[in-house]
A = this chain, B = another copy of it.
Amino acid sequence: MVKARVQIMPKSGVLDPQGKAIAHALASLGFSGVGEVRQGKVIDLELSETDPGKAKRAVEAMCEKLLANTLIESYRIEVQG
């Protein structure tokens, strides 16, 4: 079994209202020196595939098809054997 972690972030230039609101909230809680904040998703998957290379390609297909909205999001995949 292989575990994969996908991190999905809004592409740069795409408005991220959540990140904006978090930055704002941190400032009003007194945390100073916080610049831009961006929020994304992590998705952890357990795969029965045992070959890390194959697993990564499978997860890539999942990202393109479902997990990420590639119009506005970019993703990164990590596979731990």
Contacts and interface: CB of A to CB of B under 8 A. Distances in A.
Contact of A46 (B35, B58, B61): B35
B37 A46 contact: yes
A50 B71 CA distance: 34
Nearest to A30: B65
A70 interface: no
Given A26-B66, A38-B43, 12 more contacts: A9-B42, A9-B44, A19-B44, A29-B66, A33-B48, A33-B58, A34-B45, A35-B47, A36-B45, A38-B44, A39-B42, A40-B43
A77 interface: no
Contact of A61 (B31, B38, B62, B66): B31
A41 B42 contact: yes
A43 B35 contact: no
